Amino acid sequence: MTRILVYRDTVGARSEGFIQRQYKAFKRAEVLFVGTKRGPQAPRNALILAAPGIFGALSRLSFRQLGRIPGKLKRAVAKQKIDLIHAQFGLGGALALPIAQQAGVPLVVTFHGGDAAKDKHFERRAGLATIFQRRRDAMVEAADTILCVSQFVRERLIARGFPPAKLQTHYLGIDIPAEVALPALGASTNVLFVGRLVEKKGVDILLDAMAQARIAEPALTLTVVGDGPLRADLQHRAARSGVPVEFRGWLKPKEVQAAMRRALLLAVPSRTAEGGDAEGLPTVIMEAMALGVPVVATDHAGIPEVISDGVTGLLVTEGNVAALSQAILKIHGDRELAGRLRGEAYADVRARFDAERQSALLEQLLLDIVARRTKSS
């Protein structure tokens, strides 16, 4: 059995269910999750390198900044005979580099969006460089393959100077129910947003668009699922606009699905933030498509790779309040269009983004890398 170490600095973060979902169909490879912090959704058998308290903090600092590998990780790698390391996010690749070098195993890194798009990750600094900046060139040199969750991410990394030959696009997948009881069209006036409350998600644009849309359709309401540093500002903005908004914070996956089933549509108003931060390809779009929920999104980053405008959803220019407002009204007022969009979207997501299929493809990709390394050694 091939053994793969998956590195994510915080294992099981609340907003990162897509990380573990990548390995759900693995049958010929065992996975060990490793990081320096334990999130609320971490697997029980995850190996957390930093213990609580001051000594744990010092150990974490030593590992992250100096690449000093804790003894329990060295023992785990030797005991389980790790064959490959798959690091999540660019920083994860930089942090996992010393582990791969000491173990003498292939390194694969997946870039998800902001780690490829944010200017601050790549710009030169007058002072101390970040961990990623210090180790980036060595990581790229050592990596067997660098996976990109969208073609947009791949193109952005090429523009950053990454070698195209090492870059491969691999879409993430989502869990698709065997059967979907589609909600009745026109039964809801609630627009749904799901995601972190940060600049690139464009919730301020959505609030302004909702205010415009409610002039024509006063019954429209908004539900915001998620949390983040902009929550308080967005709540104040909502209060000033008069838009009825329910801020629900983070919900469990089943609760998010329930919110989707009650929604008129899912709004994904993403935009490029100051400093270059951008999406990779938001999996929430595919989750809505799989539940038969119409999607209104922006023509941003990897989103057009999953939404075909007028076929599987509606796309508007990022930052365009009026266009977003009109798209929301269009879904609300045209049941025939909404029905056609969600039918096409459901068929498309089943064909291209099923988590079982994408996980099996990832497993084969990683097994092939291990086999090549074994053959060449």
Query: For 96-135, how does the pLDDT look when each residue is reduced to its tens digit (9 = 90+)?
Result: 999 999 999 999 999 999 999 999 888 876 668 899 999 9
Instruction: Please check whether residues 240 and 104 belong to one and the same domain.
Output: no
Is residue 342 situated within a structural domain?
Answer: yes
Instruction: Please check whether residues 311 and 258 belong to one and the same domain.
Output: yes
Instruction: Please check whether residues 198 and 271 belong to one and the same domain.
Output: yes
8 Å CB contact between 70 and 49 = yes
CATH number of the structural domain spanning residue 7: 3.40.50.2000
| Domain region containing 110 | 2-173+354-376
8 Å CB contact between 210 and 187 = no
Instruction: Please check whether residues 160 and 197 belong to one and the same domain.
Output: no
The DSSP line for 279-309 is -S--HHHHHHHHTT--EEEES-TTGGGT--B
Instruction: Please check whether residues 141 and 245 belong to one and the same domain.
Output: no
Identity of the amino acid at 366 = L
DSSP helix/strand/coil, 259? helix
The DSSP line for 76-114 is HHHHHT--EEEEESHHHHHHHHHHHHHHT--EEEEE-SH
Is residue 294 situated within a structural domain?
Answer: yes
Is residue 185 situated within a structural domain?
Answer: no
Tell me, what's the pLDDT at 58?
A: 87
Task: Give the span between the Cα atoms of 63 and 368, in whole angstroms.
Answer: 30
Which positions ≥6 away from 187 have C-beta within 8 Å? Answer: none
Identify any residues that bridge with 354 across adjacent strands, giving them in sequence order.
174
Tell me, what's the pLDDT at 186?
A: 75
Is residue 178 situated within a structural domain?
Answer: no
Q: Is the pTM of this model over 0.75?
A: yes
Instruction: Please check whether residues 366 and 283 belong to one and the same domain.
Output: no
Q: Which residues in the chain come in under a pLDDT of 50?
A: none
Instruction: Please check whether residues 77 and 157 belong to one and the same domain.
Output: yes
Is residue 184 situated within a structural domain?
Answer: no
**Residue 167 Ramachandran class (φ > 0 left, ψ -120 to 50 alpha, else beta):** beta
DSSP helix/strand/coil, 325? helix
